[in-house]
Amino acid sequence: MKVKPPMYIAKQSDVEALGFSFTPEVQQKAKALEKMAELRSKMRSLMVMLETCTKCGNCAKQCHSFLGTEDYYNFPAARAELFRRIYKRYFTLSGKIFGRFAGAEDFTEETLGKWLTYYYQCNECRRCARFCPFGIDTAEITIIARHILSELGIMPKFMQGVAANMAKTGNNMGIPKAAVIDSAEFMESEMREETGLDIKIPVDKPNSNVLYIPSSADFFTNVDTMIGAAKMFHVLGTNWTIPSSVLEAANFGLLFDFNVMQEHNRRLKVATAELGASLVIQGECGHGWRAAKMYTNALNGPVPFRLLHIHEFCDEHLAKLPLKKLPIRVTLHDPCNYARAGGIIEQPRRILRACVAELVEMTPNREDTFCCGGGSGILMDEMFDIRMKLGKKKAEQIKAVGNIDYLVIPCSICKAQLPAVLKYYGMDKLEMGGLMDIVGKALDIKKT
């Protein structure tokens, strides 16, 4: 059966230019099974996820992807089964002997088509693991399947483009150093006009104690996030800089290829050594924080520096900040990778209570939060309709909060997804932005 690949798949020439080998169709099955065998031998967690599920169905009602699309294969257990059936067929005795009667299935071209479709409709939010009675993390299977596809030379154009930009410039948007400096000078001018103070955004400043790794979007679309961080560092007298070689908290390798993730984390280690920093602070990016916190030491360690998130750093120094309470009522979106993977839960709440008149919680929140629907690197124009369906539960959460002045979105990908979702569901009048945006607005530091 000939399966047409989704329209968002990168061209062979672009994949090969990135350094990946494209596997001809006749060899794809053999190479995919070879990669499965390799990962099976290295990752005990994968074996647990593949062999434990009882298909109780509890994850279905907890998955925003299934609830939004109502597609059977977006039911987490069913999506995982697309991988599990192949595993059973080629790596278990019962599957080899009894085939489909043992829940096994031959690896076919249709298999690859379903993997491409449904493993890129999973946001890897890990909410299913939160409610699974066995703690099965089907996002782990999604990540493994995507990695195998990338090793075959099959990946979305969006992720191929991000990886190409990272290799060339050290950031997702492909921003050259000259443009970074121009943008920093523009923001410095804005802060000078507002406060009367000479607040710097230093780039590649040697002998800096602190390396700040923002999202590259903070230099263009989310400048108030960068300004908020710069104001805070200024007040605290922090000796900090931004490395132009790693101008990116995000690490898309986590979302499609382990080797790409390792290379980005290696860049972080090298930049820190070159600039002499002892503390690395990650900016507002959910999956980037997870990749840095969970994998930097494992992939390129040991690393001779302390690693913090910007919200942790702000929370640690909260008492030193001259904050005035903004007269607004806000609600907080908990990004999945903060709440379920990164330990960033109470810090944003403490910061907001110091900065605003009222914080109103969504329901559910914290570890039980619903995903924005744009996570795991599916912010592709070609997937707009799917993304809106995946964002439906989050839109319902925000609407249920009632009358608020501001939606706090402390993750770069969520900042790109949620404005589109709220516009789609008729809530585009709501003001929104990052947590550091609020900190910057609440800091009372005008020159007298």
The verdict on 171 and 312 lying in the same domain is yes
My answer on whether 123 and 194 are in the same domain is no
Verify that 26 and 130 share a domain, yes or no. Answer: yes
Examine the domain organization and report whether 171 and 303 are in the same domain: yes
Please check whether residues 329 and 305 belong to one and the same domain: no
Alpha carbons within 13 A on the beta-carbon side of 295: 23
What does the alpha-carbon distance between residue 243 and residue 336 come to, in Å, rounded to a whole number?
Answer: 27
Is 3 inside any structural domain? Answer: no
Which residues are CB-contacts of 138 (< 8 A; sequence separation ≥ 6)? 49, 59, 76, 77, 79, 80, 122, 128, 129
Q: Is 88 found in the same domain as 54?
A: yes
CA 243 from centre of chain = 20
Q: Is 5 a member of any domain?
A: no
Which of 292, 316, 340 is a domain's end point?
A: 316
C-alpha 17/C-alpha 219 separation (Å) is 27
Helices (H) and strands (E) in the chain, counts: 22, 8
Which residues partner with 332 through β-bridges? 408
Find the DSSP H helices in 246-357. Answer: 253-256, 258-275, 286-300, 310-316, 336-339, 346-355
* pLDDT at residue 418, rounded to an integer: 97
Q: At what angle do helices 44-52 and 25-42 cross, to 10 degrees?
A: 100
What CATH code is carried by the domain that includes residue 332? 3.40.50
- What's the confidence (pLDDT) of residue 150? 93
Q: Domain boundary residue among 108, 125, 155?
A: 155
Give this prediction's pTM: 0.93
**pLDDT value, residue 35:** 93
User: What is the token pair recorded at 309?
Assistant: 């998130």
Residue 246 forms part of a structural domain = yes
pLDDT in tens, the chain (448 residues): 445 567 788 888 989 988 899 999 899 999 999 999 999 888 888 888 888 888 888 898 899 999 999 999 999 999 999 999 999 999 988 989 888 888 889 998 888 889 999 999 999 999 999 999 988 888 889 999 999 999 999 999 988 998 888 888 888 888 899 999 999 999 999 999 999 999 999 999 999 999 999 999 999 899 999 999 999 999 999 999 999 999 899 999 899 998 899 998 898 888 888 888 999 999 999 999 999 998 888 888 888 899 999 999 999 999 999 999 999 999 999 999 999 989 999 999 999 999 999 999 999 999 999 999 999 989 988 899 999 999 999 999 999 999 999 999 999 999 999 999 999 999 988 999 999 999 999 999 977 5
Domain that holds residue 83: 12-155
- Which stretches does DSSP call E strand in 82-176? none
Structure token pair of residue 71: 């597609």
Asked if the structure places residue 118 within a domain, the reply is: yes
Same domain, 176 and 303: yes
pLDDT of residue 290: 93
- Alpha carbon distance 448, 322 (integer Å): 14
User: Does residue 23 sit in the same domain as residue 117?
Assistant: yes
Q: Give the single-character DSSP code of 277.
A: -
Torsion of CA 360, 417, 397, 439, to 10 degrees: 0
Within a domain: residue 430?
yes
Inside any domain, residue 1: no
199-202, Cβ contacts within 8 angstroms, sequence gap of 24 or more? 199/230, 199/231, 199/234, 200/230, 200/234, 201/226, 201/230, 201/242, 202/240, 202/241, 202/242
Q: What is the pLDDT of residue 1?
A: 40
DSSP helix/strand/coil, 113: helix
Using the 3D structure, point to which of 105, 123, 155 is the last residue of a domain.
Answer: 155
CB atoms within 10 A of CB 267: 19
Question: Both 173 and 309 in a single domain?
Answer: yes
Contact 368, 127 (CB under 8 A): yes
* Domain shared by 380 and 433, yes or no: yes
CATH of the domain at 181: 1.20.1050
Do residues 112 and 233 both lie within one domain?
no
The answer on 115 and 35 residing in a single domain is yes
Q: In this structure, what CATH number is given to the domain that contains residue 122?
A: 1.10.1060
Number of domains in the chain: 3
* Closest residue by Cα to residue 445 from 193, 195, 191: 195
- Residue 303: its pLDDT value, please? 86
398 lies in a domain? yes
The pLDDT assigned to 4 comes to 56
Q: Are 20 and 153 in contact (CB under 8 A)?
A: yes
Edge-to-edge strand ranges of the sheet holding 326-332: 356-360, 326-332, 406-408, 431-433
Residue 353 falls inside a structural domain: yes
Would residue 170 be called left, alpha or beta, if left means φ above 0 and alpha means ψ between -120 and 50 degrees?
left
